[in-house]
Each structure stands twice: as C-alpha cells, then as structure tokens.
Amino acid sequence: MKVQSTTTQQDDHFLISDYDYKSTNIEKNGDKYIAKPQITNFKFKTDTRIPKLGVMLVGWGGNNGTTLTGGILANKFNITWNSRRGTHQPNFYGSLTQSSVIKIGTCNTEEVFVPFKDVLPMVNPCDIVFGGWDISSLNLADAMSRAQVVDYDLQQKLRPYLEKLVPLPSIYYPDFIAANQGDRADNVIPGNNKLEHLNIIRKNIADFKQQNNLDKVILLWTANTERFCVEDPNVHGTAEKLMKSIESSHPEISASTIFACAACLEGCSFINGSPQNTIVPGVIELAEKAGVFVAGDDFKTGQTKFKTCLVEYLVGAGIKPKAIISYNHLGNNDGKNLSQESCFKSKERSKKTCVDDILESNKVLYPTEEELNIDHTIVIKYCPETGDSKKAMDEYIAEIFLGGRQTFAVYNVCEDSLLAAPLIMDLLLLCELFERIQFSKDSTEFQRFDTVLSWLSYLMKAPKSESGITTINALSRQRAMLENLVKVCAGLTVDDNLRLEVRYG
C-alpha cells in the first residue's frame, strides 16, 4: 500500500504524516455544557527500518511460552500436522496484527480492507529470536508436552527445534507465587541477594542481545501470577528508592519487578502479562529515564474480551447491567497457581475492574455511586482433569424497559494458551512498532509516546495508563484507537463510519 498525499512524506528511513486532529473542548456553565470544536496539528514520524528483534519471555517453559514459541516455528517452517480432523496448516488466527484487516478506503463504492500488518512496516513474527527464563529446567520440547496444549503430531514435529531451547535459570521468590509451584522450581538462581539477582538478569539480557546480534530486545512476563506486593512509596515510589530497596533485598520486591527493572536498565521495554502490580512507580521512572516503554497488566484473551464487548453493547444500547457472575474452571498450571487465595486475588481484581469505566460513562443508567456497585462476582476453580481447556461461564443480568430483565448465559470453551499466544505476539510487535514512532504537536520537537504504553489496552485486562489519563476498557473503542493510530501514522484518513463518499459520491 502506498499513500499519495500532500500531507505525507517518505524517504528511505522515515514516513512523516501530518494530521489535523479534531476534538471538542467542553466547558461547563452551571448545568449546561458549551461544546467548542477545535483542531490541533500533529505530525507522526515512523522509522520504516525494521530491526532484528529479540524477545525474552519470563516463564518461557509455561503453557503460553511454549505455545507461542512452537506456534511461530510452525509458521516459520510451514510445518503441517495431522489430527483426527485431518491435516492442518499453521496460521496466526487470533492475532490482531497478522489475521485481522483494516479498512483503508473505498474503490468506487467498494470498501477496501488490508491486513493490519501491511499498513505500517512491522517485524515479521517468524523473524523474532526467542529466549528467556523459567524456574523449571525442562527444555521447550518437554515443556510443550507437559503443557498439553498443542496437538500431539505437531509436538512431535516441533521436537527437533524445541529440544535445543532451554530456559535460563530464574529468580524465585516462593512467597509471591503459590506454594504448589515449589515442585517445578529446579532451575533457580541461588542466594537471596536481590541486587545480585538483578545483575545476573541484566547480564543475561546483554549476552542474549550480543550473541544473537540483535538491534533490540523486549522482555515480557508470562510467568505465574504473583500476589500483589504491598506497595509503599518509600520502597517502590521512585527509581532511587526502588534501587535502594533492591540493594537491601526488601521482602516486598517481587521477582517480576526485578525483571522489569533489569529490562529498563538494559534499555528494553517491558510488558506484564499477569495481573500483579509489577509496574510500580519506581519502574515507570526507570523506564522514563531509559526511554523505553512499560505496558500491562494481564493479557485480555477470551472471557474478559467478551465481557468488555457485551457490556459496551448493553450500556451503549441504553440497557442496564445489574449483575455479572463469571465462573471459570481450568486444569492447567495457571489454574493450579491461582488456587492459592493470594494469587487468585490478583486475578480477581483484573477480571473485575474491566467494566468500570463503561458503566461510569452512562449517568442515565447509573446516576449514583451506589448503582455503579453492581453485583460482579469472579469465581476460579482448579479442576486438573480439564487441562488447558478452560471453561468460562458467565451470567449477565440486565434491566430493560419497564422493569423487565434480560439475561445472557455465555459458555466459552477453548485452550487458553491458543488464545494467549497470538495476543502475546501482537503485544510484542506493536510495542516494537511504537518504539519507532514519534510525534510532534503544533510543530514542537518530535517526541516518543508516553512511557506507559496504554495504546496496547485492547490486549490487556487491566490496562495501565499514563497518570491523569483515564483507562478505556470498551473493546471497540480500544480497537478503534489502535487502528486509527496506525492509519494516521501511515497518512490514511480516520474512518468515522459516516460513509458519505458511498452515499453521495
């Protein structure tokens, strides 16, 4: 795709687009709103050179880590396999960047769509070099068998590639994850000195980058859900305090926070795929200083994606959700870890806060704080026999016209990691792309996006936002935000769905 426009310039290295952003400033005058439309000029500069990208996964030997690595290798080497349903070709279904499309315009009256990945130059997932850590020493072939996610025939075909991949020893603070994980922790960096741990992880990152001749590395936590650390401004509040707390091996510094700090100190962006409060203010300050991004928290894969879609639809239709009861049962290692109350609490929070802003936006349905406090219940049960095939059952009870009730009962079954792996890939590819984009507002100097990369909120259950920026959870708004950003950077028109060119030529 090539954009021909007076507002877009391209040379060998950069694509610069000029965009007049239309917004509306609202002033309150007593009980009246005064709306003042305004236009602000933005320029977006995208470095079109595609780097050699390395990714280090924390929890590489888990269900997500093995499914992602094996799935990408299957695509890279076009490995086909057989199951009782026949012969399968590898694909990237479930990946926003690889398997979804964006409308770029109209040809006569026909709408034209292209793959998301073709709007701006992006890394090909098959070119990513993977590495990482796990507290379990199994090589990735054995770890994939343990995970029981991928069809047996594909596991066998991937074995020669995966058995050479062995996770690095990791740091293990048993107090932060469930006690039932202790029996797999046979690949652990010894000692209790958190500063030494940080330095070892930093060296691992530097070695990985150098040995694989990489332009950049991104770290992503896909290890077990930790309990929340007890956040304290004196311990976690600034970069300096955080480093001091690491030096003194403070008990409330989690393993995930050590990895986040190591990433920042090595100049790598860090993504938190679990719900715990890894990205404390001190980490954000470290990231800011290093000029890298942090993003989180907790991958938004199935049940929550649906929830933020259905609740957006109901509230958008003027229907009032009054209760959401979400059950899950699953039998994989994630479920085993979440069977401990402290870890469940972290997950409960991210699964529960995901509709708050959608409800809060509608003061017709929810005029008071009390009414916003709907009956939203989260239950997770560990049932080993179900393996990675997670069952999610939700009942949504809403109030309709004249005091009537509308109830939806939703049953969702799938391999959790077959949804998570393509989503993880998207997080990595988009994070890398956003490292190459700069913007300038009203002809000021070009700058990078804010340190906390809330552009990725479509992929997160509890999206972390820059301070002062409200979080958006509604799925269609999150997707529109991402789609419009890449379109604007490419010099394309943002679609407001009026379709005037189709209606009136």
Catalytic residue among 209, 305, 307, 390: 390
Residue 135 C-beta: closest distance to ligand DG6, Å: 18
**Whole-number Å distance between alpha carbons of 484 and 462:** 21
133 lies in the binding site for ligand NAI (CB under 6 A): yes
Please report, as ranges, the residues that interact with ligand DG6 according to CB under 6 A.
Answer: 300-304, 328, 330, 334-335, 338, 347, 351, 380, 390, 416, 461
Examine the residue annotation and report whether 307 is marked as an active-site residue of this protein.
no
Q: Which of 274, 326, 438, 451 binds ligand NAI (CB under 6 A)?
A: 274
DSSP per-residue letters across 364-403: TT--SHHHH--EEEEEEEE-GGGTTEEEEEEEEEEE-GGG
* Binding partner selected for residue 142 from ligand DG6, ligand NAI, none, CB under the kind-specific 5 to 8 Å limit: none
Binding flag, residue 334, ligand NAI (CB under 6 A): yes
Structure tokens at 295: 């993003």
Read off the tokens for 341: 């109350």
Q: Is 487 a catalytic residue?
A: no
DSSP string computed for 399-457 = E-GGG-EEEEEEEEEEEHHHHHHHHHHHHHHHHHHHHTEEEEETT---EEPPSB-GGGG
CA distance 415 to 498: 39
Please, which residues have CB within 8 angstroms of residue 51's CB and are 6 or more apart in sequence?
A: 123, 214, 215, 216, 432, 436
* Smallest distance from ligand DG6 to CB 98, Å: 19
> From the list 73, 419, 453, 489, which residue makes contact with ligand NAI (rule: CB under 6 A)?
419
Q: Does 184 bind ligand NAI (CB under 6 A)?
A: yes
Q: Cβ atoms within 10 A of the Cβ of 223, count?
A: 28
Cα(247)–Cα(255) distance, integer angstroms: 14
Element holding 325 (H helix, E strand): strand 320-330
Which residues does residue 26 pair with via DSSP β-bridges, in sequence order? Answer: 35
What's the CA gap between 228 and 272, in Å, rounded? 13
Residue in 92, 172, 382, 439 binding ligand NAI, rule: CB under 6 A:
172
Q: Of these partners, ligand DG6, ligand NAI, none, which one is at the site of residue 328 (CB under 5 to 8 Å by kind)? A: ligand DG6
**Among 8, 17, 63, 277, which residue interacts with ligand NAI (rule: CB under 6 A)?**
63
490 binds, among ligand NAI, ligand DG6, none (CB under 5 to 8 A by kind): none
Catalytic residue among 352, 461, 464, 487: 461
DSSP 117: G
When CB distances are held under 5 to 8 angstroms depending on the partner's kind, the choice from ligand NAI, ligand DG6, none that residue 17 binds is none
Tell me if 144 contacts ligand NAI by CB under 6 A.
no
Q: Which residues bind ligand NAI (CB under 6 A)?
A: 58-59, 61-64, 133-136, 170-172, 177, 184, 222-225, 255, 273-274, 298-299, 301, 332-334, 337, 416-417, 419-420
Q: Which residues are catalytic?
A: 298, 347, 390, 461
